[in-house]
Structure 1
Amino acid sequence: MPLTAEDRLVIQAAIELGGNIWENDLLKDIKRKIKDHCLTTTSYQCCYCRTDFTDEFRMVMDIEHILPKSIFSDFMFDVFNLSVSCKRCNMRIKKERTDFLQDINQVRLSPIDPDQYLISHPNLEDYFQHCEYFSSTHNGKKYIKYVPLTDKGVFTYTYFELERKEIECLSENQGVRIAENEISENIPIDLTNEIRQLLNR
């Protein structure tokens, strides 16, 4: 998705205005262009969990900055750092975290080196070489399964709590209601993961 010279002028104007650059109204059309491009490159799926966005409202999907824009603002508009993700993966799990990087300082020097990432990078690698994703629907019931193939696949599976997605899918098919209330976001992530493991036993 090459940005045009006009796009770059608009981006520069937004940067010069300062503040929360990404939310500047000047960027509305550019962000739409970015989202359209990223949806095409991911085949209308979340870049992390492969949730299908076909026929979904655009508000259920986010433009994803693989390297968080709050920390790596220099890469805010770089195509290698942009994709689309579901609200679950982006806002509930990944947020502004950087613990999927080998070395936060080294990645600044080599941001397009896939070896700098512990997860499968949505734009630098083929997701399915690291993790297979099976999805089928039978009589209105959906079944999903992830099969990690590499260390990155295992890390991606664990990091984005993909086992939980599998369990939720099976539970719904069996008529088990999933609790709507999530564990408080004020609880540290490692403790949250332990609580979830206990609840899923």
Structure 2
Amino acid sequence: MADIKQKIQFNKNQIDFISKIKTSDSFSYKKWGDDELLDLRCYIRNYYRDIQKGECAFCKKDLSIVAVGNAHVEHIVPKSIYPNFMFEPKNLCVICADCNQIKRDQEITKNTPNTLKRKYIKYPRTSKSFLMVHPHFDKWNDYLEVFNGFYVGKDDHKDRKGSFTIYACGLNRKLSKFGYIKEVYTDNEIMEAARNLIESNSLMEKCNAIETLKKILRS
């Protein structure tokens, strides 16, 4: 089952508006930032932010829930390479500010990774058509995992989607800047977390214990 189970639905007015934009003589991927698309961008952002439960589609870190600064509409197949897919519902999701900035910089410098295996006229319908993990077709955990903040691709998959996604989105950006810092847990800390999970009557303490045990298992 894919991470995003239901694509966005546009109403008739939105469909007519999109058609008008796409058939205009001045249409290009740069139209995406125009003020006239502000309401549509907001609608898309709010929809996918809710569907994704406030998580970035690529790094899985938290998005801003109210503000727009850390919740950006993303085109999974780059709009600079395939402007005809700019409004395709399954080409849209929401990502964090860092993932967005990295992909935007690639677009500006014309180094945008092409996420499709070959050129398509119509938007692909299956996961195997894409080089990166696609939230509408794939489950993130099938291709990627995190150890102490370090992203690792599960490259037992022949398509190596995990590694491509790490590269395309710069997911190990914190590692590149600060280096790898391994968290070390003592036996006493492990025992305390297990004891709190079993014995505590506080829901908050139980949740904290679960999070600590998860970190230990990943380390």
Q: TM-score, normalised by structure 2?
A: 0.62
- 1:80 is aligned to 90
2:80 aligned to which of 53, 57, 70: 70
- 2:10 is aligned to 3
1:117 aligned to which of 122, 130, 143: 130
Provide the rounded CA distance (Å) in 2 between the counterparts of 1:169 and 1:56.
Answer: 29
Provide the rounded CA distance (Å) in 2 between the counterparts of 1:159 and 1:146.
Answer: 13
Q: Which runs of 5+ in 2 are unaligned?
A: 1-7, 184-219
Cα 1:110–1:14 shift into 2, 3 Å: closer
**Number of positions where the alignment pairs a residue of Structure 1 with one of Structure 2:** 164
Amino acid at match of 2:168: Y
2:58 is the counterpart of 1:48: yes
Provide the rounded CA distance (Å) in 1 between the counterparts of 2:11 and 2:123.
Answer: 25
1:146 aligned to which of 151, 154, 162: 151
User: 61-70 vs 50-59, which deviates more?
Assistant: 50-59
Cα 1:4–1:99 shift into 2, 3 Å: closer
Write the deviation string for residues 114-172 of structure 1: whole angstroms up to 9, x where unpaired: 212221112221111111246xxxxxxxx534342232112222333333324657779
Q: TM-score, normalised by structure 1?
A: 0.67
- 1:186 is aligned to none
RMSD: 3.0
Cα 1:38–1:169 shift into 2, 3 Å: farther
Q: Which runs of 5+ in 1 are unaligned?
A: 135-142, 175-201
Question: Which entry has the higher C-alpha Rg, 1 or 2?
Answer: 2
Provide the rounded CA distance (Å) in 1 between the counterparts of 2:97 and 2:14.
Answer: 27
Provide the rounded CA distance (Å) in 2 between the counterparts of 1:32 and 1:102.
Answer: 30
1:15 aligned to which of 22, 33, 37: 22
1:98 aligned to which of 91, 113, 126: 113
Amino acid at match of 1:3: F
Provide the rounded CA distance (Å) in 2 between the counterparts of 1:49 and 1:119.
Answer: 13
SS at match of 1:132: strand
Cα 1:43–1:169 shift into 2, 3 Å: farther
Cα 1:42–1:55 shift into 2, 3 Å: closer
